């Protein structure tokens, strides 16, 4: 694992994916790579044997996560992450790949598909990836949508050798051969050791690593590049992804930090801060076979066109003056909705209810985890144990089954973690690392949580997170 401060390759990947004549990057990133001089770079096309396969997945739902489903814009992925939903990112990515010459039969899209016609969308049937941008939703294949956007289907698609393992969807899989190249882009909320999914359970790090190992063992691809955009995304690979499998991973934040962005309420723009020197930016990292970062990206995203990198010093999108934790984006979305709604309108009442519910659930989850820690370890030691970060190079936890058991026990008594509660996965891991048994956790959780949240935050009604 290495930091990207000294590597231009992630930046090249972002821009090549953007498919624009010139893509903009933060001047700090260029400075760290070229000294004090910002240098335009042109990447020319190179032809490679083998088939290009792409899997695009937005691991969330709801209009508040608009940016994720905009996967069709893998390029601006790092440049213009909207506050709306991950569908926008996924859709934009698709359009870029199509311009690169990839065929629909080799592009597999996972998106809940609930924002284009959401009543909050001011342009029904349209998804954009930048203010006043053009539609990126049209023509996007809907391979796996709604309840079929699951970790189980995602794994089955990657492996590609057992369509009977799929549940619903188009049935399209990565049916790759030994000379083929695979690119996977995953955008969603995350937490230590997990990635979100619109339909539970969440994706667990160990399970993903096992799938990647299995894919490698079958000899059905020449190389695989994985780009992951989520909070604590480094924890998915830290101490788990081995070298020598021809797999290269680049992520938006290290194992211990949230994924930060710049939010402009008027434009619904959320911008990833890429430079490692920003006090309000997450650290882009890389794992696996770092040597693959030296290769051309044409084998993964197509080769129709030439891409130029220019100085973005005048681009207002890179201002970090309004950088916020990605986990607070939903609250800002609700607040803007409340502020813009007419007094006395049902829309304003609904927005207020959403704010109150979200804040109440946050307080419930945060307070419950802390109190459980106090019961298990005592008030004096609880915070230190729950917040312990293992040394770099070690995985979040050794016993992943224990982690799943602890989370299920908590959710049985206290309700769903939800997107906000993902941040507490480290606490549950540390409870396991400290040697606490499931029956001890059961007693502590029952003592702290005397009632179970209903409806939206009920794990019994909606399923467990892991």
In a domain, 358, yes or no: yes
Per-residue pLDDT at 77 exceeds 60: no
In a domain, 327, yes or no: no
Do both 136 and 220 map to the same domain? yes
Do both 312 and 363 map to the same domain? no
pLDDT-based confidence at 454, cuts 50/70/90? confident
**Cα separations in angstroms, 161 against 102, 123, 174, 336:** 22, 40, 8, 46
**Cα separations in angstroms, 447 against 182, 340, 377, 461:** 48, 42, 14, 22
Q: Which residue has the higher pLDDT, 250 or 314?
A: 250
In a domain, 331, yes or no: no
Tell me: the pLDDT tens digits for 84-131?
456 777 888 888 888 888 999 999 999 998 888 888 888 899 888 766
Per-residue pLDDT at 375 exceeds 60: yes
Cα distance between the two ends of the chain: 26
CATH number for the domain including 360? 1.10.132.130
CA distance 364 to 362: 5
- Of 40-54, 280-294, 365-379, the range with the highest mean pLDDT is 365-379
Q: Which residue has the higher pLDDT, 403 or 190?
A: 403
pLDDT at 66: 43
Segment 409-438 mean pLDDT = 95
CA distance 425 to 389: 12
In a domain, 332, yes or no: no
pLDDT at 2: 53
Per-residue pLDDT at 200 exceeds 60: yes
Q: Which residues pair with 422 in a beta bridge?
A: none
Per-residue pLDDT at 43 exceeds 80: no
pLDDT at 72: 38
In a domain, 325, yes or no: no
Q: Give the number of other CB atoms < 10 A from CB of residue 379.
A: 11
CATH number for the domain including 288? 3.40.50.1460
Please tell me the least confidently modeled range out of 175-184, 310-319, 334-343, 415-424: 310-319
The last residue of one of the domains, among 260, 283, 318, is 318
Per-residue pLDDT at 153 exceeds 50: yes
Do both 77 and 174 map to the same domain? yes
CA distance 274 to 296: 21
Residue 199 is classified by DSSP as: S
CA distance 405 to 399: 10
Segment 428-443 mean pLDDT = 98
Per-residue pLDDT at 228 exceeds 60: yes
Which of 91, 221, 231, 449 is flagged as catalytic?
A: 231
pLDDT at 460: 75
Q: Which residue has the higher pLDDT, 89 or 58?
A: 58
pLDDT at 278: 37
Do both 298 and 364 map to the same domain? no
Per-residue pLDDT at 229 exceeds 70: yes
Do both 268 and 347 map to the same domain? no
Q: What is the mean pLDDT of the chain?
A: 78
Using alpha carbons, select from 343, 285, 271, 260 the residue that is nearest to residue 81. Answer: 271
pLDDT at 83: 34
pLDDT-based confidence at 324, cuts 50/70/90? low
Per-residue pLDDT at 139 exceeds 60: yes
Tell me: the pLDDT tens digits for 202-213?
999 999 999 999
pLDDT at 455: 73
pTM of the model: 0.81
In a domain, 157, yes or no: yes
Q: Is 189 a catalytic residue?
A: yes
- Any long-range contacts for 289-294 (C-beta under 8 Å, 24+ apart)? 289/243, 289/244, 289/245, 289/246, 289/247, 289/248, 290/2, 290/248, 291/248, 292/223, 292/225, 292/246, 292/247, 292/248, 293/7, 293/9, 293/10, 293/248, 293/250, 294/9
In a domain, 324, yes or no: no
CA distance 78 to 225: 16
Do both 421 and 295 map to the same domain? no
pLDDT at 349: 95
Residues 6+ apart with CB under 8 A from 458: 415, 416, 452
pLDDT at 88: 74
pLDDT at 404: 97
Please tell me the least confidently modeled range out of 95-109, 396-410, 452-466: 452-466
Please tell me the least confidently modeled range out of 405-414, 420-429, 455-464: 455-464
pLDDT at 34: 35
**Cα separations in angstroms, 291 against 45, 226, 382, 418:** 20, 14, 42, 37
Tell me: the pLDDT tens digits for 293-315?
877 666 666 666 444 333 344 34
pLDDT at 122: 84
If one counts the domains in the chain, the total is 2
Segment 41-52 mean pLDDT = 62
Which of 189, 268, 283, 361 is flagged as catalytic?
A: 189
pLDDT at 222: 93
Do both 306 and 402 map to the same domain? no
pLDDT-based confidence at 159, cuts 50/70/90? very high
Per-residue pLDDT at 20 exceeds 50: no
Do both 136 and 251 map to the same domain? yes
Do both 301 and 429 map to the same domain? no
Segment 125-143 mean pLDDT = 84
CA distance 102 to 301: 7
In a domain, 140, yes or no: yes
Do both 346 and 287 map to the same domain? no
Domain that holds residue 415: 341-462
**CA-based torsion, 381, 387, 393, 398: positive or negative:** positive
pLDDT-based confidence at 60, cuts 50/70/90? low
Do both 273 and 360 map to the same domain? no
The last residue of one of the domains, among 287, 318, 349, is 318
Do both 200 and 273 map to the same domain? yes
């Amino acid at each position: 694992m290495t930091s990207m401060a000294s590597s231009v390759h992630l930046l090249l990947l972002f821009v090549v994916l953007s498919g624009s004549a010139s893509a903009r990057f933060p001047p700090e990133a260029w400075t760290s790579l070229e000294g004090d001089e910002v240098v335009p770079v042109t990447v020319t096309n190179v032809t490679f044997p083998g088939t290009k396969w792409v899997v695009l997945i937005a691991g969330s739902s709801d209009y508040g996560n608009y940016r994720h489903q905009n996967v069709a814009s893998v390029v601006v992925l790092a440049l213009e992450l909207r506050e709306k939903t991950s569908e926008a990112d996924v859709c934009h990515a698709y359009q870029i790949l199509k311009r690169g010459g990839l065929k629909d039969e080799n592009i597999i899209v996972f998106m809940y598909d609930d924002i284009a016609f959401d009543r909050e969308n001011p342009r029904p049937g349209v998804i954009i990836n930048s203010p006043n941008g053009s539609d990126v939703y049209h023509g996007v294949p809907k391979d796996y949508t709604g309840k079929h956007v699951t970790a189980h289907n995602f794994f089955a698609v990657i492996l590609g050798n057992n369509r009977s393992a799929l549940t619903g969807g188009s049935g399209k899989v990565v049916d790759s051969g030994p000379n083929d190249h695979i690119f996977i882009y995953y955008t969603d909320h995350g937490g230590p050791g997990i990635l979100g999914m619109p339909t539970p359970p969440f994706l667990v790090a160990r399970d993903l690593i096992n799938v990647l190992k299995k894919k490698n063992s079958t000899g059905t691809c020449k190389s695989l590049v994985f780009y992951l955009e989520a909070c604590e995304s480094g924890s998915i690979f830290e101490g788990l992804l081995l070298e020598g499998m021809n797999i290269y991973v680049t992520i938006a934040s290290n194992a211990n930090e949230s994924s930060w962005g710049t939010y402009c309420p008027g434009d619904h723009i959320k911008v990833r801060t890429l430079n490692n020197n920003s006090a309000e930016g997450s650290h882009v990292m890389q794992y696996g076979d770092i040597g693959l970062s030296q290769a051309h990206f044409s084998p993964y995203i197509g080769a129709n066109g030439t891409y130029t990198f220019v100085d973005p010093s005048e681009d207002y999108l890179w201002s970090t003056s309004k950088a916020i934790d990605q986990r607070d984006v939903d609250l800002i979305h609700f607040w803007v909705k409340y502020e813009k709604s007419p007094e006395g309108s049902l829309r304003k009442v609904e927005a207020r209810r959403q704010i109150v519910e979200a804040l109440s659930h946050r307080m419930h989850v945060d307070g419950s985890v802390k109190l459980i820690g106090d019961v298990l370890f005592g008030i004096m030691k609880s915070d230190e144990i729950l917040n312990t970060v293992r040394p770099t190079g070690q995985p979040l936890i050794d016993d992943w089954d224990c982690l799943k058991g602890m989370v299920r026990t908590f959710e049985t008594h206290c309700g769903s973690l939800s997107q906000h509660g993902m941040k507490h996965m480290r606490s549950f891991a540390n409870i396991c690392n400290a040697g606490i048994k499931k029956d001890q956790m059961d007693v502590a959780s029952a003592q702290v949580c005397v009632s179970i949240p209903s409806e939206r935050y009920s794990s019994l009604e909606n399923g467990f997170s892991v």
